[in-house]
Amino acid sequence: MVKQIWLFALLLFVCLSSAHAESMTAAELIEKARSQSREIEELKKIMESPDRNLRLSAFELMMNSDNPIYRELAIESGLASTDSLLRSQALKATVFNMDALYIDLTVDENAPDEAEEKAKAALAAGVPRLIITIRSKDQKNDSMEVATRYSGKAEIQGVNYVFQTSGEAGTLTLKDGALLQGPVAMGGNRYIGSVKLR
């Protein structure tokens, strides 16, 4: 009987100790989350600072951070910024981290009527998307080797992604909402190409 009481007491002690350890772990996690939340808010403020040099320095430091949340925040803030240089840096960071661009094609309503009808017919026949595979990257020169059905080159020019192969060409400009959009020529037709970066 005494042995059973001791076993029960020991089991109760182990359970209580375990519960205490778990609650401490949860408390520590919550405190860490609060601390990181404060840091993120501070970084957001810096990325919206009127001081351009501060914004650009913060972007570079965040991109070089080991913390993936900081890198993601830098890109998100950069793409949404009104600062063209910061937007360009964020575009480079985004595209050079991709293996391919998936360009959705729609009719270019500013094209001549005949060209517009040809594009509509091509889209109806099943050409809704152009996939540009990035084969190699030269970040120093903001350029890359790309391939569709054809080989070619692409580069980042400010807030533009410019590409050309032997069968396609286009200039996609960074718009609000982390969207690349612009004219695309393919198969003798003109389209508007769109890529959602986020």
* CATH number of the domain bearing residue 151: 2.40.128
One domain for residues 90 and 110: no
- Note the pLDDT of residue 27: 82
Same domain, 107 and 188: yes
Question: For the chain, what is the total number of helices (H) and then of strands (E)?
Answer: 5, 8
Number of domain units in the chain: 2
Nearest Cα residue to 161 out of 119, 103, 74, 80? 103
8: left (phi over 0), alpha (psi -120 to 50) or beta: alpha
Helix (H) or strand (E) holding 57: helix 52-63
Per-residue pLDDT at 18 = 44
76 neighbors 198 (Cβ within 8 angstroms): yes
Q: Are residues 124 and 82 in the same domain?
A: no
Measuring CA to CA, which residue among 175, 176, 194, 174 is closest to residue 184? 194
Nearest Cα to 147, choosing from 195, 179, 99?
99
Residues spanned by the domain of 29 = 2-94
Domain boundary among 52, 72, 94: 94
Which of 94, 115, 131 is a domain's end point?
94
pLDDT (tens, 9 = 90+) of the chain, 198 residues, equals 443 444 334 334 434 444 444 556 888 888 888 888 888 899 889 898 899 999 999 999 999 999 999 999 999 999 999 999 999 999 999 999 999 999 999 999 888 888 889 889 989 888 778 999 999 999 999 999 999 999 999 999 999 999 999 999 999 999 998 999 999 999 888 999 999 998
Q: Give the position of tokens 């769109």.
A: 194
**Domain co-membership, 85 together with 107:** no
Q: Which of 94, 112, 127 is the last residue of a domain?
A: 94
